[in-house]
Structure formats: structure tokens, C-alpha cells
Amino acid sequence: MTGNVFDPNYGNPAIPESAANPGDEIVQPANAAPLTDVVELRGIEQVYGQGDKAQVVFRNFSLSIPDIPDRGQFCTIMGPSGCGKSTILRYISGLQNPTAGEILFKGKPRDPQKSVPMVFQQYSSFEWKSVLHNVTLPLELQGVGRREAEDQAMEMLKVVGLEAHAGKFAKYPNLSGGQLQRVAIARSLVVHPSILLMDEPFGALDVKTRREMQDFLRTIFEAQEDMTVILVTHSESEAVFLSDKVTVLNANPAMIVADIPIHLPAVRDDAARIAPEFEHYVAQVRKALS
């Protein structure tokens, strides 16, 4: 474990009183069994190359994201370029295996039946398919019939505000950059994943759209019953606005330098961005990164 949200000393104790939101606190009964982690990386080694040229990205690296039942949490990983952030997401998604070490889901090895979807910075939609059929795809891969898949996909397009665009080809400029990322998010959420991975999903968007997408993503996250999001971003303010916890890494090999819980209200809007504690958290994250 890298930290425990129930430990009163977890993270930085110097959070202003006003930053705490009692309604958001997670209280564990004294006799409750310890929580498992929704995902745990244990004893990870990643070495590229050999001899003098070997690059050690991870050496005995461990990272755990506690399962918060019926709630999930929004976790962000930050750190310098090349420290291994995307590699961590690739391990969790199953796209890459480490040189050594284990990736456990609720204490168990990966269930091959369960995919862990990832939203990338590059628009990853299938341009030759409609918006609707981009979203039906993962359901059809799971064996859901086309009619049922279309119904479920349409419901998800309503959630992301794209129902009016269902019949369009999923490509720019038919859809804007923000809309294309909504397609990717809808395609990920339609299978009701317990973990959603996001690798700099808003890095290619303009400032205004990026902010709108942050609002949208936090709202979507709050509406899910029990989903953990693991985001990689370089934006300190994006990390603070979206997250319940920000984990900061350093590099060569990667180590966790800070695990910063963000005690902003669960429901976030522009008021959260101008709250004094928001800047406090941004400064805390920036310091950990420097």
C-alpha cells in the first residue's frame, strides 16, 4: 500500500479546515474488514535495453488504488515526461506486461472477460463508422445483439449529449474535438466498467473546450455508481479539479513522491475553481512536481 485513505495522516495534514467536506468523507466502521484495492501494481520491474544502455523505468514499484465500495474514486497520476505514467495505464489496460511484478484487480489476477477501457489524447474513434456504431462496438464484441446494443448505445449518447449526432460519421470536422472525445468516453462507459483509464484525454483541446470537458467528466463520474477513474494529465489545475487523489511520481526509476487527497466537494463546478483551497491544492501538486 502506498497510503490509506482511512489513515488520519494520509497525504498532507495541512489541509485547511474549510477544504474538508464532511459529506464527502469516507468513514470506515472500526470493526470493518480492510478494503481490497480496486487495482494494485506490486513489485513492478520494467527495464528497456541491456547492459550500459539499460533504462530502468520501474524497480520494485508498487501502487495501489483502494476500492471505495459503491462510490469509486477519481485518481490522477502526474510526473515528468517519460517517468512511466502511460506505461502504468497500459499495464492496467492489459496492453503491456511488465518485465516482472503483478497487476491485481481486487486482489486477483486480470479476468480476461473484463476489459479495462482507455480514452487517449488522439481521437480514437472509427471514422468510417457512425457515432452510434462506434458506441455499439464494445457491446457487440461482448455478444450483445445489435438491436439491444443500439438501444444501450443511444442511452449512453444521451448521457454525453450526442444523441442528435448519432448518425454522423465519427470524424473531424463532422464533430468537434470535444464531441469526438465524448464519443470515446461513451464507448468506454457503455460497458459499465469498474475502471476507466484516461491518458491525457483533453490535451489536444482548446482551453475553453478543455474546461467544459472537465466539468462534463466530473459530472459523468459522479453519476456512475461505482467506477474508479485513473487519469494521466500534465495540467495541475485539471488534476485538482477532477480528482479525489493526485499521485505524483518522479523518474528513473519511478517513485511515488506524493499522494495528495483532494477534499473538494464531490459535485464540482466553477465555484470549486475559485475556492481558496483549490489554489492551495494546485500549489501542493506543483511543489510535489518540482
Does 81 help bind ligand ADP (rule: CB under 6 A)?
yes
Q: Binding string to ligand ADP for residues 32 to 71, with x set by CB under 6 A, is what?
A: ----------------x--------x--------------
Strands 118-119, 255-261: pairing is: unpaired
Whether 158 and 135 have beta carbons less than 8 Å apart is answered as: no
Does 235 help bind ligand ADP (rule: CB under 6 A)?
no
Nearer to ligand ADP among residue 16 and residue 82 (C-beta): 82
Beta bridge partners of residue 65, listed in sequence order: 39
Whether 118 and 185 have beta carbons less than 8 Å apart is answered as: no
Only segment of 82-90, 131-139, 177-185, 223-231 that touches ligand ADP (CB under 6 A) = 82-90
* Minimal distance, residue 82 CB to ligand ADP, in Å: 4
* Minimal distance, residue 200 CB to ligand ADP, in Å: 9
* Minimal distance, residue 240 CB to ligand ADP, in Å: 19
d(CA 277, CA 29): 28
Does 87 help bind ligand ADP (rule: CB under 6 A)?
yes
| Binds ligand ADP by CB under 6 A, chosen from 43, 69, 82, 145 | 82
Whether 279 and 85 have beta carbons less than 8 Å apart is answered as: no
Nearer to ligand ADP among residue 156 and residue 246 (C-beta): 246
Whether 99 and 283 have beta carbons less than 8 Å apart is answered as: no
Nearer to ligand ADP among residue 46 and residue 136 (C-beta): 46
Does 84 help bind ligand ADP (rule: CB under 6 A)?
yes
Does 86 help bind ligand ADP (rule: CB under 6 A)?
yes
Whether 277 and 16 have beta carbons less than 8 Å apart is answered as: yes
Q: Tell me, by CB under 6 A, how many residues bind ligand ADP.
A: 10
CA atoms within 13 A on the CB side of 76: 25
* Minimal distance, residue 88 CB to ligand ADP, in Å: 7
Only segment of 15-23, 74-82, 107-115, 211-219 that touches ligand ADP (CB under 6 A) = 74-82
| Binds ligand ADP by CB under 6 A, chosen from 83, 156, 157, 217 | 83
| Binds ligand ADP by CB under 6 A, chosen from 37, 44, 75, 85 | 85
Does 245 help bind ligand ADP (rule: CB under 6 A)?
no
* Minimal distance, residue 202 CB to ligand ADP, in Å: 16
Question: Which cell is 221 given?
Answer: 463520474
Q: Interface residues with ligand ADP (CB under 6 A)?
A: 48, 57, 79, 81-87
